[in-house]
Amino acid sequence: MVCYPTFGGSGVVATELGLELAKKGHEIHFITYKQPVRLSLLNPNIYFHEVNVPNYPLFHYQPYELALSSKLVDMVKLYKIDVLHVHYAIPHAYAGYMAKQMLAEEGISLPMITTLHGTDITLVGNHPFYKSAVTFSINKSDFVTSVSESLKEDTYRLFDLNKEIHVIPNFIEINENADLEKSICQRSVLAGSNERIITHISNFRKVKNIPDVVKVFYNVQKEIPSKLMMVGEGPEKAVAEKLCEELGISDKVIFFGNSNDINQILKYSDLFLLPSKTESFGLAALEAMAFNVPVISSNSGGIPEVNEEGISGFLSDVGDVENMSKNAITILKSDETLEQFKTSAFEVAKKFDIKNILPLYEDLYNQAINL
Ligand code: GMT
């Protein structure tokens, strides 16, 4: 598994997939520049190999792809790795293809699966400075997957590809007993017993439309006593903090920064906000739904494949704060309605149970090693 180790959807998907495969007895090697945040090494089938890029004064930019492809070659030979699965096309598919070619020179075959996650296609990969290399490395992958139908369509629209794209949606581990789990965090730490808890989790980039999270909350709290949990770090966090001050709601908003206690926060949440400008899937929304949390989201990209209108929550056009606020109030205004949405959100999340999704990846790995 090659992935980004930081907080962010693609790294989380790669990590959870690797951990689940390891449970089933597969040997999984993570190769990246830092230990992925959700990766526990307390598993006999999990290995982590760090990619180091030595500093050299001549380099204005450190050649990470070079170090990654070298590391891949070394680890494949040392551990007799059968399949390479790269998450996020840039630069992983490119480095993976170089490793594949180097190994081929020595008579070693390394099939490569590339999973497209979203911004590697819609925002970054599509940039003219990267497009040729991204197109090349996707076309050279043995198998390509995307996390939603919407991302598949975007990829075909934006790139000149000759490859079939297999849609394998993101997944979640469904825990029917989540409510019974012992909690180290008390609800009273987050909000008063008469207050609803509204949550947003992301990497606070512009694409997440963070000001709309604050604006929707501002409208909701005028009608329904509530608190907003803002979880994550990124460039738009300061913008959100300033907006909260301007709107006079700072005392009702908690900024957590990056947190490993997401489950604890979701467990007590009544509503999740995801007003993104674009989102290939919206893993954060699915994670919320798996904790019985209904979702108010935009209808962009792949979000409608996850959040079902009127069932797990509501969807609005990007930027339609008024509609999102109205829908949020509809869900939160009575305990009865809220309970009904909570139950349905969990039912929708069940469709993405890892037990249903894992065999799709295993099938692809089997096809890859039999090429
Ligand atoms: O946007 C993020 O939160 C991070 C980014 C990533 O690659 O780490 O997320 C993308 O991949 C996730 C996992 O497949 C998807 O759930 C997100 O929707 C997608 N983000 C965007 O498309 C903006």
Per-residue pLDDT of the chain (371 residues; tens, 9 = 90+): 999 998 678 999 999 999 999 999 999 999 999 999 888 878 889 999 999 999 899 999 999 999 999 999 999 999 999 999 999 999 999 999 999 999 999 999 999 999 999 989 988 888 999 999 999 999 999 999 999 999 999 999 999 999 999 999 999 998 776 554 555 568 998 999 999 999 999 999 999 999 999 999 999 999 999 999 999 999 999 999 999 999 999 999 999 999 888 999 999 999 999 999 999 999 999 999 999 999 999 999 999 999 999 999 999 999 999 999 999 999 999 999 999 999 999 999 999 999 999 999 999 999 999 98
Same domain, 92 and 229: no
Domain that holds residue 212: 178-352
Helix (H, G, I), strand (E, B) or coil at 57: coil
Same domain, 152 and 14: yes
Task: Give the distance (Å) from ligand 1 centre to CA of residue 329.
Answer: 27
Residue type, 20: E
Per-residue pLDDT tens digits for 116-131: 999 899 888 889 999 9
Between helices 237-247 and 210-223, what is the axis angle to 10°? 30
Number of H helices, E strands in the chain: 14, 12
Same domain, 186 and 313: yes
CB 150 within 8 A of CB 118: no
Distance from C-alpha of 288 to C-alpha of 209, rounded to nearest angstrom: 18
pTM of the shown model: 0.93
Whole-angstrom Cα Rg for the chain? 21
Same domain, 128 and 243: no
Q: What is the pLDDT at residue 82?
A: 98
Tokens 């990007």 map to which residue? 318
> Which tokens belong to 129?
């400075």
> Which tokens belong to 57?
């004064």
33 belongs to a structural domain: yes
- Whether 281 is in the pocket of ligand 1, judged by its Cβ within 6 Å, is yes
Q: What is the pLDDT at residue 123?
A: 85
Ligand 1, residues 10, 147, 286: which to mutate, most atoms within 8 A of Cβ? 10
Assign residue 63 the CATH number of its domain: 3.40.50.2000
- Whether 346 is in the pocket of ligand 1, judged by its Cβ within 6 Å, is no
Distance from C-alpha of 285 to C-alpha of 289, rounded to nearest angstrom: 6
Number of separate domains in the chain: 2
Q: What is the pLDDT at residue 181?
A: 54
Tokens 């969807």 map to which residue? 315
Same domain, 17 and 162: yes
> CB-based contacts of 317: which residues, under 8 Å, 6+ apart?
298, 299, 323
Q: What is the pLDDT at residue 53?
A: 94
Residue 60 DSSP symbol:
S
- Whether 155 is in the pocket of ligand 1, judged by its Cβ within 6 Å, is no
Task: Give the distance (Å) from ligand 1 centre to CA of residue 271.
Answer: 20
290 belongs to a structural domain: yes
CB 251 within 8 A of CB 227: no
Read off φ and ψ for residue 226, nearest 5 degrees.
-160, 165
Ligand 1, residues 38, 86, 114, 117: which to mutate, most atoms within 8 A of Cβ? 117
Same domain, 132 and 151: yes
Same domain, 121 and 231: no
1 belongs to a structural domain: no
Same domain, 247 and 296: yes
> Which tokens belong to 282?
């919206």
Angstrom distances, CA of residue 277 to CA of 116, 128, 295, 325? 18, 21, 16, 17
Q: What is the pLDDT at residue 6?
A: 81
Q: What is the pLDDT at residue 177?
A: 62
